[in-house]
Amino acid sequence: MTAQSTLPTATFRQPGPFATVWAALRPIVRKPMGFVGLVGTIAFILVAFLGPVIIPQPVTNTNMMRQGPSIEAPLGTTNDGKSILILVLRGGRDILSIALLTGGMTTFVGVALGSLAAYLGGWFDRIVNTAANFLLGIPTLVLLTVLATVIRLDNPLPLSFLLASLNWPSLMRTVRSQVLSLRERDYIEAAVALDLGTRHIIINEILPNMASYIIINLIFSITNAIYSLNFLIFLGLVPVDVKNPNWGWIISTANTNQAIYSDNTRWWVLAPVLAIAFLQWFLITLARSIEDAFNPRLRSGG
Amino acid sequence: MANPVLSVSNLSIEYNSLRGKVQAVRDVTFDLYPGETLAVIGESGCGKTTLALGLVRLLPKAANIVRGSIMFHHNGQSTEVLDLTAKQLRAYRWGDCAMVFQSALNALNPVLKISSMVQDTARAHGERDTKKIEQHAKELFEAVRLDPERVYNSYPHELSGGMRQRVLIALGVLLHPQIVIMDEPTTALDVLTQRTVIEVLKRLRDSMGFSMLFISHDLSMAAELATRIMTMYAGEAVELGTVADTFYRPTHPYTLGLLRAAPALHGSPENLSSIPGSPPNLIHLPSGCKFHPRCPYATEICSTDDPPFEQHLPDHWSACHYWEQPGEARTAYREELATLLRESQL
Amino acid sequence: MTVPLMELQSVNRIFKGRNSTVQVLFDVSMQVAPRETLCIVGESGCGKTTTGKILAGLSKPSSGKVLFDGKDVSGFSGASYADFRRAVQIIHQDPYASLNPVHTVYRTLSFPLLRHGLVKNQMEARARVLELLTLVDLTPAADLIDKFPHQLSGGQRQRVSIARALTVNPKVIIADEAVSMVDVSIRISLLNTLTELQKRLGLTFIFITHDLAVARYFAWEGRIAVMYLGRVIEEGPAKLITDAPQHPYTQALVSALPEPDPEITRRKPRVQLRSEDIPSLTRLPSGCPFHPRCPIYVPGVCEHERPELAATQVGTLAACHVTAQTSHHAEAIAARGASVAT
């Protein structure tokens, strides 16, 4: 290297977006659990959103009522002769869209309030904590039940908003305690001394250290939302499009129609239940493998 | 010299890590004699703690002793420590060879009183008489300059760091072991507390007559306590000699480097200098002599031939092709220093 | 006399816990002139780290003043505060905690450059970062600039910390045990880098350490202030403090420190302290805080009245009744036959 080398402008290239995503995904995908979790989750999302678009709406078929599994309907048919398999393939959209929206909102609010409360302290911290403690004391599902009888929860946005506003406190608390400890780190103190500003410190210094933690909590917010949502739907508290039923509604209908008691219609209940269960399983497996990949202490091998 | 109490030959320990095999200790050979204090000096990553853990076989699962032998000689009998069964090993540890860890804060169970720990330790080694154990422990606490009554009945968090370290030392010598291994006994202690611990160690050693092997990065500690010093670098022993020989006539450039890099309360700062570069990667070690990339005396041969650890002078081993030169450099410095000290009447 | 660049005037610091209140600094006053090196030396609990944080503006005193270039820091706001904030930087002890693990060396060093408009764009930032890395002897800079902290050694990380502090062109650097957690063989080289920077850039250093030998080396042409239980008990030129300590606590420190030379260290006269118990900050001794342990304790004097910093015979300042040149306890001291060890 010559002493007077002027820096050529082309030598430095920021890694492209694909490279960064791949670098983040690689440790997860390398392990079988992570691979399964990621692929399963993506598959579910694709089916849930593309299903209603690709697969045509099933029509009532009086010839095929309450039939067991057959070639035309591999999982049997409902009271209306509709194929259970098709209903399930088309029934994930509402659930997934509301759950993803809720999860996103919960995580955003929880992270924003938690990190600001921890970093700024003082009165802001006190207000946020009081609000959180208040909300945490309320039994969520009971409140939702009560509210649902008063408000019409047919729009996904208000529903998500409602669910998120009841779920953010516990995430906020865990984020807050994490940030409280990160705040004491030497490199944060250095950032303060360098006058980098609160916004920079929270977004560029603190949150990146919690990235995997935030993603995992996002996933758990989604699973929580799925449970709450199905509970509400099952209780009939959420207006549902009967022609395009979602999984919760399928279960509810199947139940009302005594589907469990007949061998032929067993899958009417089982299929949506298993769909929900598998989705949850894929999500949780993905979350755990992210935790595994990013927590060096959990890595085996000394 | 009398017969050694511990003979270590060609001890090699490796770790399995995600990136490859870490050669933490390579072919270390030395003897430990009765009543002597051997200081193992080196910096982070030189293998000294791994060596100490290996001597009492407390290595983590990821570590393997791949080669070598550790012979313990006592009462005319010689035992191969690497062949001991689990039961024999427990008797050996603490009974014959005790280890006092660094970080006294974490070594004591916070929910147990000191008295419980004393009794548990003694009982685990077959002592049943609680009164006798208590008496003995209190005597030892006295010897390490702790208030016996107060300390015996307290919890670890009620004691300061220096006091806890002394409790650990007393626990270490409770069963009159032949050998006491101490890992960084005074790191993390304040200067005045450190002085107390040093004096306590000297007293115990003189009165109980055990052999002490202490691990440290601090040459000054070796200057205080050691009869012999072994310097380690990149997993190898690079020099072994008496304390005077090591300090005044070193035969390895790394030892000389350490001596030159130690600030003191006397002498001019111009004489101090660092060792350039940094310690090698223990997975991909350099060829030839492991120190050669940082050595002021290195030549062609140093990068190709790994010098064997040999005895070049009476009681003085080292692994260097140019072993005479560090001593010359040191002598010149010492002469200057002696003049300076005479002039300042230190 | 030049105006001191940084000054503490009678600073007290009290920490209020839920059930307890602890005062960790008592009436601490000190000054640092521009381009000077001051080492603050003491054992754990003496308040040196808190003092460092107050000097760095990261903590506020409970009472007393902090002056920067002669002006009270608490009066700064807006632009003047921003100037002060950037003029005083800090280097931490633990190389493994001082850098954000998720950012490369480049990112860590470019943030302050870009934020404060010291460079116009990423290209300029890149060039400046390379310059800074070379300035702190991190070479070859091009190899290290895109590395993450975990890929660097302890010594290299400390150098990155120094470079980071230099990004905003500070006037004062406060180093809190900056070499304590680094291998002994590279401490000297780190300290030499700091000294070089001081000469080149005209920096003022406040170096906090528990190691008197390191303090002596680094502050060779500067001053040392010795702290004990939240007070400054001795102060003066570094060479004098280590060669001729006046305060019995400093003497105890000097005598207790092991030296890297067997003949010297084994023959060193040891100061015997009266007691080994270290008083806690919540139950301080009356009068002189050192009196329960002090070998030259004068009964009737030392436990009743706390000594102020006063001139000693060698020209340093010490808070001790016995060493003070004009002590109105002269009779009592003479009566006890106390001798002052030089």
Every domain of chain B and the residues it spans: 6-226, 232-344
- pLDDT, tens digit (0-9, with 9 covering 90-100), for C156-169: 999 999 999 999 99
Residue of C179, C180, C184, C196 to mutate, testing the B interface (most B Cβ within 10 Å of its Cβ): C184
Tell me the CATH number at C21: 3.40.50.300
Minimal CA separation from C283 to chain B, in Å: 15
Is B283 at the interface with chain A, CB within 8 A? no
Q: Is C115 domain-assigned?
A: no
Is A203 at the interface with chain C, CB within 8 A? no
Q: Does residue A78 carry a pLDDT above 90?
A: no
- pLDDT, tens digit (0-9, with 9 covering 90-100), for C25-72: 999 999 999 999 999 999 988 999 999 999 999 999 999 999 999 999
Contact call for residues A37 and A282 (beta carbons, < 8 A): yes
Contact call for residues B235 and B27 (beta carbons, < 8 A): no
Enclosing domain of residue C303: 245-336
Residues C249 and C222 in one domain: no
Residues C207 and C91 in one domain: yes
Sort out which chain C residues have CB atoms less than 8 A from B273's CB and list them. Answer: 188-189
Decide if A187 and C100 are in contact by the 8 Å CB cutoff.
yes
> What six digits make up the tokens of B297?
């005396």
Q: Is A17 domain-assigned?
A: no
| Chain C stretch 298-327, residues whose beta carbon is closer than 8 A to a beta carbon of chain A | none
Q: Does residue C6 carry a pLDDT above 80?
A: yes
Tell me the CATH number at A251: 1.10.3720.10
Closest CA to C161 of A208, B45, A191, A209: A191
Decide if C188 and B272 are in contact by the 8 Å CB cutoff.
yes
Predicted local confidence at residue A7, as pLDDT: 39
- Nearest by CB to A194, from C99, C102, C168: name it: C168
Predicted local confidence at residue A1, as pLDDT: 35
Q: Is A62 domain-assigned?
A: no
Sort out which chain A residues have CB atoms less than 8 A from B60's CB and list them. Answer: 302
ipTM attached to this prediction: 0.88
Residues C201 and C325 in one domain: no
| Chain B stretch 3-42, residues whose beta carbon is closer than 8 A to a beta carbon of chain A | 15-18
> What six digits make up the tokens of C30?
């000190």
**Nearest residue in A to C88, CA atom:** A193
One-letter-per-residue 3-state SS of C197-256? HHHHHCCEEEEEECCHHHHHHHCCCCEEEEEECCEEEEEEEHHHHHHCCCCHHHHHHHHH
Residues C203 and C89 in one domain: yes
Q: Is A41 domain-assigned?
A: yes
Number of domains in chain A: 1
Lowest-confidence segment of A144-148, B126-130, B251-255, C304-308 by average pLDDT: A144-148
Interhelix angle A122-136/A156-183, nearest 10 degrees: 130
- Report, at the CATH architecture level, how domain B6-226 is classified: 3-Layer(aba) Sandwich (3.40)
Residues C224 and C251 in one domain: no
Closest CA to A67 of A226, A263, A284: A263
Decide if C258 and B261 are in contact by the 8 Å CB cutoff.
no
Q: C172-176 and C88-91 as β-strands: parallel, antiparallel, unpaired?
A: parallel
Predicted local confidence at residue A301, as pLDDT: 33
Average pLDDT over residues C92-105: 93
Domain boundary among C171, C202, C232: C232
Residues C268 and C313 in one domain: yes
Q: Whose structure tokens read 């910093």?
A: C309
Q: Does residue A88 carry a pLDDT above 70?
A: yes
CA–CA separation, B303 vs A270, rounded Å? 71
Decide if A301 and B63 are in contact by the 8 Å CB cutoff.
no
Q: Number of residue pairs across B and C with CB atoms under 8 Å? A: 117
- pLDDT, tens digit (0-9, with 9 covering 90-100), for B257-292: 999 999 988 878 888 888 888 888 888 888 899 999
- pLDDT, tens digit (0-9, with 9 covering 90-100), for B143-161: 888 889 999 999 988 888 8
Q: Considering chain B, what is the average pLDDT of its residues?
A: 88
> What six digits make up the tokens of C136?
């702190």
CA–CA separation, A96 vs A74, rounded Å? 24
pTM of the predicted structure, to 2 decimals: 0.85
Minimal CA separation from C278 to chain A, in Å: 28
Q: Is A72 domain-assigned?
A: no
Predicted local confidence at residue A18, as pLDDT: 67
Enclosing domain of residue A154: 33-57+80-293
Decide if C265 and B192 are in contact by the 8 Å CB cutoff.
no
Residues C170 and C315 in one domain: no
Number of domains in chain C: 2
Q: Considering chain C, what is the average pLDDT of its residues?
A: 90
**Nearest residue in A to B20, CA atom:** A301
Q: Is C149 domain-assigned?
A: no
Decide if A189 and C58 are in contact by the 8 Å CB cutoff.
yes
Sort out which chain B residues have CB atoms less than 8 A from A299's CB and list them. Answer: 18
Predicted local confidence at residue C335, as pLDDT: 64
Q: Is C130 domain-assigned?
A: no
Contact call for residues A164 and A173 (beta carbons, < 8 A): no
- pLDDT, tens digit (0-9, with 9 covering 90-100), for A198-235: 999 999 999 988 888 888 889 999 998 888 888 888 87
Residues C317 and C183 in one domain: no
Is A32 at the interface with chain C, CB within 8 A? no
Peptide bond into C140 cis (omega under 30): yes
